[in-house]
């Protein structure tokens, strides 16, 4: 989910002129560290054989099989993901053996961390949290790879969003329908499906009839959380080759940001690295060549428990923000490229909301607002939600109450963020853990 640069901070930005059509930075063959083979059949085949080989002599081996057959009355556990994805990821990876993200060793003055005893101890203390992030990341990978295969022009945005959300809820084992269930695990924030000039925070509200078109560029940005540990990761889909360079620019820029990030690194330097890569690209669309610009008022961000936007930002243009990345920080590194102004504004109907963490204690006079706040507290806490999530909980006619919570500063509205009409924008995003011993790109997959 995108963080928007506050206007105050934006004034301080020293934005470079686009460095022209500089030579392309070498494409960085991003390693695909994650994704262990999780779909290979394993020892359960033995059960299968046992089940079939009913009659026959009872050799020692057969006896053993027979013994296994007894436990067969329990339902056979699947060992591969289904299509659509419905198999619990905790069942595919029992005992918290979730695949690691891409682990990148620290360099230079931080090289000692790889083997340092104290840092390893600190790292071990966080094992449970790290497992929650890996669990959420594996759900994200499995659902998004299914989405990448199945999303096609002609589908409605509603069916695309629901397909992703049904997958995430099934794979975490939390439908989110019973009170408090969505707080245990599930969607970390709503499925953003932002098209063309819209860069972020668009998801259909009830009754939306929008259909994905062949010529569209769609950002798919969704979050998965387990016990409040949110993995925030996004990719872009296009169906025409003329957009390849736009997508390549943004993927490359995000990987540059991921590479640059580390303990003691200043976020402004990360922004400079991102912008340099991003703006070394150009893209030809319908016969016109455009420079790819970093969208200067969007940025990455830290992630805190149950809170998608922490206190630190990662600019995607050069800036003199001297804030340091620190040990233990979790960052969403996300970049946005545009053929338009490289600047977004609020546009269209709002769908995304989140309760403010340190909300003012206002005496609400509107009973519908009070009632709705209770629903939000019990089901989402400070996790972002969208109007569809209220609909599926059976809430009706809540808009007045919702707007009242927004105007009282208790809930924040996140309207869609769009560049100028006719432009195209793309996004890629990864979540990284700055563990004491190693940087873990938790959401890395063999797709991006």
Query: Which residues contact Co ion (rule: CB under 5 A)?
Result: 1, 232, 332, 334
In the complex, least distance from residue 145 CB atom to Co ion, rounded to whole angstroms: 19
Active-site option among 132, 221, 252, 321: 221
Please indicate if the annotation marks 429 as binding a ligand.
Answer: yes
Q: Give the C-alpha separation, 298 to 194, whole Å.
A: 14
Q: Which of 132, 216, 282, 429 is catalytic?
A: 429
- Calculate the CA 294 to chain-centre distance: 20
- 430 labelled ligand-binding: no
Q: Is 221 annotated as a binding residue?
A: yes
Give the Cα separation of 44 and 67 in Å (integer): 14
Q: 16 near 280, Cβ under 8 Å? A: no
Nearer to Co ion, 321 or 334 (CB): 334
* Minimum distance of Co ion from residue 92's CB (angstroms): 26
Active site includes 334?
yes
DSSP-assigned states of every residue in 39-80? ----THHHHHHHHH--SS---HHHHHHHHHHHGGGSPPPP-S
Report phi then psi at 28, rounded to 5. Answer: -100, 95
Catalytic residue flag (residue 48)? no
The active-site residue out of 102, 232, 321, 440 is: 232
Q: Is the Cβ of residue 283 or residue 298 nearer to Co ion in the bound state? A: 298
Report how far residue 363's alpha carbon sits from residue 400's, in angstroms, rounded to the nearest whole number.
16
Closer CB to Co ion, residue 1 or residue 372? 1
Choice among 301, 419, 430, 440 that is catalytic: 301
The single residue of 135, 197, 309, 430 carrying the catalytic annotation is 309
Q: Which is nearer to Co ion, 232 or 279 (CB)?
A: 232
User: For Co ion, which residue has the nearest CB?
Assistant: 332
For residues 237 and 220, the answer to whether their CB atoms sit within 8 Å is yes
Q: How many residues does the chain have?
A: 448
* Residue 18: C-alpha distances to residues 25, 33, 242 (Å): 15, 33, 22
Query: Is 309 part of the annotated catalytic residue set?
Result: yes
Q: Least distance (Å) from Co ion to the CB of residue 227?
A: 19
Task: Tell whether residue 17 is among the known ligand binding residues.
Answer: no
234/410 with CB nearer Co ion:
234
* 232 catalytically annotated: yes
Separation between Cα atoms, residue 295 and residue 33, nearest integer Å: 29
> Is 179 marked as a binding-site residue?
no
Q: Give the C-alpha separation, 44 to 93, whole Å.
A: 14
Q: Which two tokens stand for residue 276?
A: 């340099």
419 known member of a binding site: no
Among candidate residues 256, 297, 261, 262, the one with its CA nearest the CA of residue 279: 256
Supply the minimum distance, in Å, between the C-beta of residue 232 and Co ion.
4
Q: How far is the CB of 132 from Co ion (least distance, A)?
A: 18
Binding site for substrate: residue ranges?
A: 201, 309
* Catalytic site positions: 221, 232, 301, 309, 334, 429
Binding site for a divalent metal cation: residue ranges?
A: 221, 232, 301, 334, 429
């Amino acid at each position: 989910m995108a963080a928007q640069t506050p206007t105050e901070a934006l004034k301080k930005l020293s934005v470079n002129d686009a460095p022209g059509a500089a030579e392309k930075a070498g494409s960085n063959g991003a390693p695909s560290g994650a994704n262990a083979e999780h779909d290979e059949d394993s020892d359960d085949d033995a059960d299968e054989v046992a089940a079939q080989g009913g009659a026959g002599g009872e050799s020692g081996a057969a006896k053993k099989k027979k013994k296994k057959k007894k436990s067969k009355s329990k339902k056979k556990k699947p060992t591969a993901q289904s299509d659509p994805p419905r198999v619990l990821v905790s069942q595919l990876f029992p005992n918290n053996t979730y695949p690691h993200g891409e682990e990148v060793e620290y360099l230079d003055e931080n090289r000692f961390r790889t083997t340092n005893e104290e840092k390893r101890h600190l790292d071990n203390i966080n094992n449970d949290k790290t497992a929650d992030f890996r669990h959420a990341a594996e759900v994200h990978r499995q659902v998004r790879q299914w989405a990448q295969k199945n999303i096609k022009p002609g589908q409605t945005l509603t069916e695309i969003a629901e397909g992703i959300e049904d997958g995430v809820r099934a794979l975490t084992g939390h439908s989110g329908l019973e009170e408090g269930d969505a707080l245990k695990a599930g969607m970390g924030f709503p499925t953003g499906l932002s098209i063309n000039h819209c860069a972020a925070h668009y998801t259909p509200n009830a009754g939306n009839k929008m259909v994905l078109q062949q010529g569209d560029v769609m950002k798919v940005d969704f979050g998965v959380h387990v016990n409040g540990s949110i993995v925030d990761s996004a990719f872009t889909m296009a169906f025409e080759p003329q957009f390849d360079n736009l997508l390549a620019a943004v993927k490359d820029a995000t990987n540059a940001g991921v590479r640059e990030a580390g303990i003691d690194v200043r976020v402004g330097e990360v922004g400079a690295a991102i912008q340099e890569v991003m703006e070394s690209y150009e893209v030809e669309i319908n016969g016109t060549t455009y420079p790819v610009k970093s969208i200067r008022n969007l940025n990455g961000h830290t992630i805190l428990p149950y809170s998608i936007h922490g206190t630190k930002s990662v600019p995607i243009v050069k800036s003199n923000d001297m804030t340091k990345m620190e040990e233990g920080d979790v960052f969403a590194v996300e970049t946005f490229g545009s053929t338009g102004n490289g600047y977004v504004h609020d546009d269209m109907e709002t769908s995304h909301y989140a309760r403010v963490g340190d909300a003012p204690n206002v005496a609400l006079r509107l009973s519908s607002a009070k009632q709705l706040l209770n629903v939000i507290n019990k089901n989402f806490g400070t996790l972002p939600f969208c109007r569809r999530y209220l609909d599926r909980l059976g809430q009706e006619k809540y808009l007045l109450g919702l707007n009242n919570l927004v105007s009282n500063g208790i809930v924040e509205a996140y309207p869609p963020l769009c560049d100028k009409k006719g432009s195209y924008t793309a996004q890629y995003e990864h979540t990284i853990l700055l563990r004491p011993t190693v940087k873990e790109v938790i959401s890395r997959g063999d797709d991006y």
